[in-house]
Structure 1
């Protein structure tokens, strides 16, 4: 029995010694043994807090875009092509006044029964919203070359800028990505 207690005591002592020596390697005001120690006259470095980078969302009603031949709206036989977004990501950088969002999305465009291979222009809509407030909105005419059948494409917009609040965007801020599916605007007559 005393042999078991002795082994336990030695193990506990060894573990305590290792933990104590591990504490010697903590960040303290003592001697710095690292080879890249800062000079004694160096200014203290300010901590950097990463700002919140808004998520990208795609609403069902504008994540798919269909183009039909003239007079064939919603007729599957008259479909020229269909485009959709599959996935999106973003990267944010910020300074004191502005947050810049670099948006990248993967999409696919498929030729319809009435379509032919060629170049099309997709009406991509990028918006940044905070609750009901629209902070940024831009429609981008994005050209895509459709081969026979269809193809994947990569959409990128690196210059989405919104005001940078203290701590970055709020947790309610979202980047909305989709297609501008609204009716074509009639030109104004003068």
Structure 2
């Protein structure tokens, strides 16, 4: 029984090969045509995939609370509270630089003394490799809080985070850190 099945498979395979060799199309029986033949003759450019650093939240700065003047830590004087949650990234690289598109989901909640309208959230994006800071910038991200709405969600995007892609650049220990700027605004470095 096994011999009959094997012979049948060999016969069908041989028939398929012969049919492909006798085809009149330029693609050799596979129906690829002239376009595929021309593409096959062009040299292929080698592609090397770059390491894309993961995004981590700065635990001490994942929440941002703003109080009315003189009302620090008083829940009745809380203007608003913002938080960052899930984050992701996408990378593109050339020989000299690695560009990271950082995207994060956030939420803005009004407090007891909270206003509506545009609110500027100071979001810091750092790229670190161990103790070395490769990139650091604070983005004043505008979020519009609709009148009468107790909260709103937002999506933060920073598509132009650029670091070196050669020696002294990204390694397997490189991380993108994301959080709110908690101190006075510092001069941005890029």
Q: TM-score range by the shorter chain?
A: 0.7 to 0.9
Shift of 1:8: 2.4
Q: Does 1:10 align with 2:4?
A: yes
C-alpha distance in structure 2 between counterparts of 1:169 and 1:110, whole Å: 36
RMSD, matched Cα:
2.9
Q: Residue in 2 aligned with 1:177?
A: 178
- Write out per-residue CA displacement over residues 119-150 of structure 1, whole angstroms, 9 at most, x where no aligned residue: 21101000111111110000111111112201
What is the correspondence of 1:13-162 to structure 2 with a 5 Å cutoff? 13-15=7-9, 33=28, 34-35=32-33, 36-38=36-38, 42-147=41-146, 148-162=149-163
Shift of 1:106: 1.5
CA deviation after TM superposition for structure 1 residue 67, in Å: 0.6
What stretches of structure 2 of length at least 5 have no aligned partner? 21-25
Runs of at least 5 residues in structure 1 that lack an aligned partner in the other structure: 1-6, 26-30
State the secondary structure of the residue aligned to 1:53: coil
Aligned residues: 172
Distance 1:38 1:181 in 2: 58
CA deviation after TM superposition for structure 1 residue 59, in Å: 2.2
| Cα displacement (A) at 1:172 | 0.9
**CA–CA separation in structure 2 for the residues paired with 1:53 and 1:21:** 48
Given the two structures, how large is their TM-score scaled by the length of structure 2? 0.78
